[in-house]
Chain A
Amino acid sequence: MNKADKTFIAIVAVLSILLYGSLQYVVRATTSNQKIAVVSYRDEEVLRIDMSRNDKYTVQGTLGEVLIEVKDNRIRVEKETSPLHICSIQGWIEYANVPITCLPNHVVIVIINAVNEHGEDTTVQ
Protein backbone atom coordinates (compact mmCIF):
# COMPACT_ATOMS: atom_id res chain seq x y z
CA MET A 1 0.00 0.00 0.00
CA ASN A 2 1.57 3.31 -1.04
CA LYS A 3 0.97 6.85 0.21
CA ALA A 4 -1.60 7.60 -2.50
CA ASP A 5 -3.59 4.53 -1.43
CA LYS A 6 -3.65 5.65 2.20
CA THR A 7 -4.74 9.17 1.22
CA PHE A 8 -7.45 7.80 -1.03
CA ILE A 9 -8.76 5.45 1.67
CA ALA A 10 -8.78 8.30 4.21
CA ILE A 11 -10.76 10.50 1.77
CA VAL A 12 -13.29 7.71 1.15
CA ALA A 13 -13.67 7.11 4.89
CA VAL A 14 -14.16 10.81 5.70
CA LEU A 15 -16.63 11.34 2.84
CA SER A 16 -18.71 8.33 3.90
CA ILE A 17 -18.82 9.61 7.51
CA LEU A 18 -19.93 13.05 6.28
CA LEU A 19 -22.57 11.45 4.07
CA TYR A 20 -23.75 9.28 6.99
CA GLY A 21 -23.99 12.30 9.29
CA SER A 22 -25.94 14.41 6.81
CA LEU A 23 -28.32 11.55 5.95
CA GLN A 24 -28.94 10.92 9.66
CA TYR A 25 -29.73 14.61 10.08
CA VAL A 26 -32.11 14.60 7.12
CA VAL A 27 -34.07 11.47 8.16
CA ARG A 28 -34.40 12.67 11.78
CA ALA A 29 -35.47 16.15 10.69
CA THR A 30 -38.08 14.82 8.27
CA THR A 31 -39.68 12.30 10.65
CA SER A 32 -42.77 13.44 12.53
CA ASN A 33 -44.29 11.87 15.66
CA GLN A 34 -47.22 10.33 13.84
CA LYS A 35 -45.94 7.66 11.51
CA ILE A 36 -47.48 5.16 9.14
CA ALA A 37 -45.62 2.21 7.66
CA VAL A 38 -46.47 1.36 4.06
CA VAL A 39 -45.83 -2.23 2.98
CA SER A 40 -45.59 -2.90 -0.76
CA TYR A 41 -45.40 -6.12 -2.72
CA ARG A 42 -44.10 -5.84 -6.28
CA ASP A 43 -44.51 -2.04 -6.16
CA GLU A 44 -48.14 -2.28 -5.08
CA GLU A 45 -49.24 -1.17 -1.64
CA VAL A 46 -50.65 -4.14 0.30
CA LEU A 47 -50.76 -2.88 3.88
CA ARG A 48 -50.74 0.38 5.81
CA ILE A 49 -49.71 0.10 9.47
CA ASP A 50 -50.34 2.58 12.28
CA MET A 51 -46.97 2.79 14.01
CA SER A 52 -48.43 3.92 17.36
CA ARG A 53 -49.98 0.48 18.01
CA ASN A 54 -47.80 -2.48 18.95
CA ASP A 55 -48.86 -5.41 16.81
CA LYS A 56 -47.75 -8.12 14.39
CA TYR A 57 -48.75 -8.40 10.73
CA THR A 58 -48.22 -10.90 7.94
CA VAL A 59 -47.92 -10.21 4.21
CA GLN A 60 -47.41 -12.71 1.40
CA GLY A 61 -44.03 -12.37 -0.31
CA THR A 62 -42.66 -14.20 -3.34
CA LEU A 63 -40.91 -16.92 -1.32
CA GLY A 64 -43.40 -17.13 1.54
CA GLU A 65 -44.97 -15.16 4.36
CA VAL A 66 -43.20 -12.07 5.71
CA LEU A 67 -43.89 -11.47 9.40
CA ILE A 68 -43.76 -7.80 10.39
CA GLU A 69 -43.61 -6.52 13.97
CA VAL A 70 -44.37 -3.02 15.26
CA LYS A 71 -43.20 -2.10 18.75
CA ASP A 72 -42.61 1.27 20.45
CA ASN A 73 -42.95 3.26 17.22
CA ARG A 74 -40.40 1.08 15.45
CA ILE A 75 -40.93 -1.58 12.80
CA ARG A 76 -38.98 -4.66 11.72
CA VAL A 77 -39.30 -7.83 9.69
CA GLU A 78 -39.41 -10.54 12.32
CA LYS A 79 -39.40 -13.59 10.09
CA GLU A 80 -39.24 -14.29 6.35
CA THR A 81 -38.12 -16.95 3.92
CA SER A 82 -35.08 -15.89 1.88
CA PRO A 83 -31.54 -17.13 1.20
CA LEU A 84 -29.69 -14.45 3.18
CA HIS A 85 -32.36 -13.01 5.54
CA ILE A 86 -31.03 -9.53 4.89
CA CYS A 87 -34.26 -7.73 5.80
CA SER A 88 -34.77 -9.52 9.11
CA ILE A 89 -31.09 -9.06 10.06
CA GLN A 90 -31.50 -5.36 9.28
CA GLY A 91 -33.61 -5.03 12.43
CA TRP A 92 -35.72 -2.10 13.60
CA ILE A 93 -36.26 1.11 11.66
CA GLU A 94 -37.90 4.20 13.11
CA TYR A 95 -37.29 7.07 10.71
CA ALA A 96 -39.35 8.14 7.71
CA ASN A 97 -38.27 7.14 4.19
CA VAL A 98 -35.59 4.64 5.31
CA PRO A 99 -36.73 1.43 3.64
CA ILE A 100 -36.55 -2.21 4.70
CA THR A 101 -36.17 -4.17 1.49
CA CYS A 102 -36.79 -7.89 1.15
CA LEU A 103 -35.42 -8.27 -2.38
CA PRO A 104 -36.13 -12.02 -2.87
CA ASN A 105 -39.67 -11.55 -1.53
CA HIS A 106 -40.30 -8.30 -3.46
CA VAL A 107 -41.52 -6.70 -0.24
CA VAL A 108 -40.58 -3.14 0.71
CA ILE A 109 -41.53 -1.45 3.98
CA VAL A 110 -41.19 2.30 4.32
CA ILE A 111 -42.31 4.69 7.07
CA ILE A 112 -44.11 7.85 6.03
CA ASN A 113 -45.28 10.81 8.09
CA ALA A 114 -48.97 10.71 8.90
CA VAL A 115 -49.12 14.50 9.11
CA ASN A 116 -47.82 15.04 5.60
CA GLU A 117 -50.04 12.26 4.33
CA HIS A 118 -53.20 14.22 5.16
CA GLY A 119 -51.70 17.56 4.31
CA GLU A 120 -52.46 18.91 7.79
CA ASP A 121 -49.33 20.97 7.91
CA THR A 122 -50.15 22.95 4.79
CA THR A 123 -52.74 25.66 4.50
CA VAL A 124 -54.26 26.52 1.16
CA GLN A 125 -55.43 30.12 1.00
Chain B
Amino acid sequence: MNRKKRVRRMMILTMLLAMSIVFHMLEPSLPLPIPGVKLGLANILGLIALYMFGWREMLSINFGRVLIASLLRGIIFGTGFWLSLSGVALSSLTVIILKKFTPLSAIGLSVASATFHNVGQILAIVVIWSSIMMVYWLPVMIWMSIPTGILTGTLAVAVLKRISKGGSP
Protein backbone atom coordinates (compact mmCIF):
# COMPACT_ATOMS: atom_id res chain seq x y z
CA MET B 1 0.00 0.00 0.00
CA ASN B 2 1.52 3.27 -1.02
CA ARG B 3 1.74 6.32 1.20
CA LYS B 4 -1.19 8.17 -0.37
CA LYS B 5 -3.50 5.20 0.03
CA ARG B 6 -2.36 4.67 3.62
CA VAL B 7 -3.10 8.27 4.57
CA ARG B 8 -6.49 8.09 2.82
CA ARG B 9 -7.40 4.89 4.67
CA MET B 10 -6.34 6.35 8.00
CA MET B 11 -8.36 9.52 7.37
CA ILE B 12 -11.50 7.60 6.49
CA LEU B 13 -11.13 5.40 9.57
CA THR B 14 -10.61 8.45 11.77
CA MET B 15 -13.76 10.06 10.37
CA LEU B 16 -15.76 6.87 10.87
CA LEU B 17 -14.50 6.69 14.46
CA ALA B 18 -15.37 10.33 15.09
CA MET B 19 -18.88 9.86 13.71
CA SER B 20 -19.43 6.69 15.73
CA ILE B 21 -18.36 8.53 18.92
CA VAL B 22 -20.86 11.31 18.16
CA PHE B 23 -23.67 8.76 17.61
CA HIS B 24 -22.66 6.88 20.75
CA MET B 25 -22.80 10.03 22.85
CA LEU B 26 -25.96 11.53 21.35
CA GLU B 27 -28.02 8.37 21.28
CA PRO B 28 -29.07 8.20 24.94
CA SER B 29 -30.82 11.56 24.50
CA LEU B 30 -33.05 10.23 21.70
CA PRO B 31 -36.48 9.59 23.21
CA LEU B 32 -37.76 6.08 22.45
CA PRO B 33 -41.06 4.65 23.75
CA ILE B 34 -39.49 1.56 25.34
CA PRO B 35 -37.10 2.00 28.26
CA GLY B 36 -33.57 0.73 27.83
CA VAL B 37 -33.85 0.36 24.05
CA LYS B 38 -31.34 2.15 21.83
CA LEU B 39 -31.25 2.28 18.04
CA GLY B 40 -27.55 1.38 17.90
CA LEU B 41 -26.76 4.02 15.29
CA ALA B 42 -23.05 3.90 16.18
CA ASN B 43 -23.07 0.32 14.94
CA ILE B 44 -23.60 1.59 11.37
CA LEU B 45 -20.07 3.00 11.31
CA GLY B 46 -18.59 -0.31 12.48
CA LEU B 47 -20.45 -2.11 9.68
CA ILE B 48 -19.24 0.43 7.12
CA ALA B 49 -15.65 -0.12 8.29
CA LEU B 50 -16.17 -3.88 8.03
CA TYR B 51 -17.36 -3.69 4.42
CA MET B 52 -14.93 -0.98 3.30
CA PHE B 53 -11.80 -2.38 4.95
CA GLY B 54 -12.15 -5.52 7.03
CA TRP B 55 -12.75 -6.98 10.47
CA ARG B 56 -9.63 -5.49 12.08
CA GLU B 57 -10.78 -2.00 11.16
CA MET B 58 -14.29 -2.73 12.48
CA LEU B 59 -12.80 -3.83 15.79
CA SER B 60 -10.69 -0.69 16.04
CA ILE B 61 -13.74 1.51 15.32
CA ASN B 62 -15.97 -0.31 17.82
CA PHE B 63 -13.48 -0.57 20.68
CA GLY B 64 -12.09 2.91 19.98
CA ARG B 65 -15.61 4.31 20.15
CA VAL B 66 -16.41 2.72 23.52
CA LEU B 67 -13.07 3.76 25.00
CA ILE B 68 -13.07 7.36 23.76
CA ALA B 69 -16.80 8.01 24.32
CA SER B 70 -16.55 6.68 27.89
CA LEU B 71 -13.46 8.79 28.47
CA LEU B 72 -15.26 11.89 27.16
CA ARG B 73 -18.33 11.19 29.28
CA GLY B 74 -16.21 10.53 32.33
CA ILE B 75 -17.65 7.05 32.90
CA ILE B 76 -14.57 5.05 31.95
CA PHE B 77 -14.17 1.88 34.06
CA GLY B 78 -17.63 2.53 35.56
CA THR B 79 -20.58 0.16 35.25
CA GLY B 80 -21.81 1.73 31.99
CA PHE B 81 -18.37 1.33 30.44
CA TRP B 82 -18.17 -2.39 31.23
CA LEU B 83 -21.68 -2.89 29.87
CA SER B 84 -20.76 -1.16 26.59
CA LEU B 85 -17.46 -3.00 26.35
CA SER B 86 -18.90 -6.46 26.86
CA GLY B 87 -21.73 -5.70 24.42
CA VAL B 88 -19.32 -4.47 21.77
CA ALA B 89 -16.90 -7.37 22.31
CA LEU B 90 -19.55 -10.05 21.92
CA SER B 91 -21.34 -8.36 19.01
CA SER B 92 -18.10 -7.73 17.09
CA LEU B 93 -16.99 -11.33 17.56
CA THR B 94 -20.36 -12.60 16.36
CA VAL B 95 -20.31 -10.34 13.30
CA ILE B 96 -16.79 -11.46 12.34
CA ILE B 97 -17.71 -15.16 12.65
CA LEU B 98 -21.04 -14.81 10.82
CA LYS B 99 -19.48 -12.75 8.01
CA LYS B 100 -16.87 -15.42 7.47
CA PHE B 101 -19.07 -18.51 7.63
CA THR B 102 -22.59 -17.46 6.56
CA PRO B 103 -24.08 -15.67 3.53
CA LEU B 104 -25.75 -13.01 5.73
CA SER B 105 -25.92 -9.50 4.24
CA ALA B 106 -25.19 -6.28 6.15
CA ILE B 107 -28.79 -6.28 7.40
CA GLY B 108 -28.57 -9.79 8.85
CA LEU B 109 -25.18 -8.98 10.37
CA SER B 110 -26.62 -5.83 11.88
CA VAL B 111 -29.47 -7.78 13.52
CA ALA B 112 -26.92 -10.31 14.82
CA SER B 113 -24.76 -7.49 16.10
CA ALA B 114 -27.68 -5.82 17.91
CA THR B 115 -28.84 -9.13 19.37
CA PHE B 116 -25.44 -10.14 20.70
CA HIS B 117 -24.76 -6.62 21.94
CA ASN B 118 -27.76 -7.10 24.23
CA VAL B 119 -26.64 -10.60 25.21
CA GLY B 120 -23.19 -9.24 26.11
CA GLN B 121 -24.67 -6.41 28.14
CA ILE B 122 -27.05 -8.67 30.04
CA LEU B 123 -24.21 -11.12 30.75
CA ALA B 124 -22.15 -8.22 32.12
CA ILE B 125 -25.06 -7.14 34.35
CA VAL B 126 -25.46 -10.73 35.56
CA VAL B 127 -21.77 -10.83 36.50
CA ILE B 128 -21.60 -7.31 38.00
CA TRP B 129 -24.75 -7.69 40.12
CA SER B 130 -24.46 -11.47 40.52
CA SER B 131 -28.13 -11.66 39.64
CA ILE B 132 -28.97 -14.33 37.08
CA MET B 133 -32.57 -13.10 36.84
CA MET B 134 -31.45 -10.09 34.82
CA VAL B 135 -31.75 -12.63 32.00
CA TYR B 136 -35.51 -12.06 32.38
CA TRP B 137 -35.20 -8.92 30.27
CA LEU B 138 -33.14 -10.60 27.54
CA PRO B 139 -36.03 -11.86 25.33
CA VAL B 140 -37.57 -8.38 25.25
CA MET B 141 -34.21 -6.82 24.39
CA ILE B 142 -33.63 -9.43 21.67
CA TRP B 143 -37.08 -8.76 20.20
CA MET B 144 -36.33 -5.06 20.05
CA SER B 145 -32.95 -5.71 18.43
CA ILE B 146 -34.69 -7.13 15.34
CA PRO B 147 -36.30 -3.85 14.15
CA THR B 148 -33.37 -1.71 15.33
CA GLY B 149 -30.90 -4.10 13.65
CA ILE B 150 -32.84 -4.00 10.38
CA LEU B 151 -32.93 -0.19 10.56
CA THR B 152 -29.19 0.24 11.18
CA GLY B 153 -28.34 -2.47 8.63
CA THR B 154 -30.48 -0.76 5.97
CA LEU B 155 -28.83 2.57 6.72
CA ALA B 156 -25.37 0.97 6.46
CA VAL B 157 -26.30 -0.59 3.09
CA ALA B 158 -27.57 2.79 1.84
CA VAL B 159 -24.35 4.52 2.90
CA LEU B 160 -22.16 1.79 1.37
CA LYS B 161 -24.06 2.08 -1.94
CA ARG B 162 -23.46 5.83 -2.05
CA ILE B 163 -19.79 5.38 -1.18
CA SER B 164 -19.31 2.85 -3.99
CA LYS B 165 -21.06 5.20 -6.45
CA GLY B 166 -18.76 8.03 -5.49
CA GLY B 167 -15.64 5.98 -6.23
CA SER B 168 -13.73 3.57 -4.02
CA PRO B 169 -11.97 5.01 -0.98
**How many residues of chain A are within 8 Å of chain B by beta carbon?**
29
Q: From A13, A43, A99, give the contact of B134 (CB < 8 A).
A: A99
A2, A5, A27, A101 pick with most chain B CB within 10 angstroms? A5
Assess A97 versus B108: contact at CB under 8 Å? Given A23-B139, A84-B35: no
Also in contact, A12 and B140, with CB within 8 A (given A1-B108, A5-B105, A5-B108): no
Interface of B is mostly: helix
Chain A positions within 8 Å of B112 at CB level:
8, 12
A97 to B104, CA, bound (A): 37
B102 touches A4 (CB 8 A): yes
Task: List 17 additional A-B contacts (Cβ < 8 Å) besides A5-B107, A12-B111, A27-B136.
Answer: A1-B108, A2-B105, A5-B108, A8-B104, A8-B111, A8-B112, A9-B150, A12-B142, A17-B139, A19-B138, A19-B139, A23-B135, A86-B36, A99-B134, A101-B125, A108-B131, A110-B131
> Measuring CB to CB, which residues of chain A are less than 8 angstroms from any residue of chain B?
1-2, 4-5, 8-9, 12-13, 15-17, 19-20, 23, 27, 43, 83-86, 89-90, 97-99, 101, 103, 108, 110
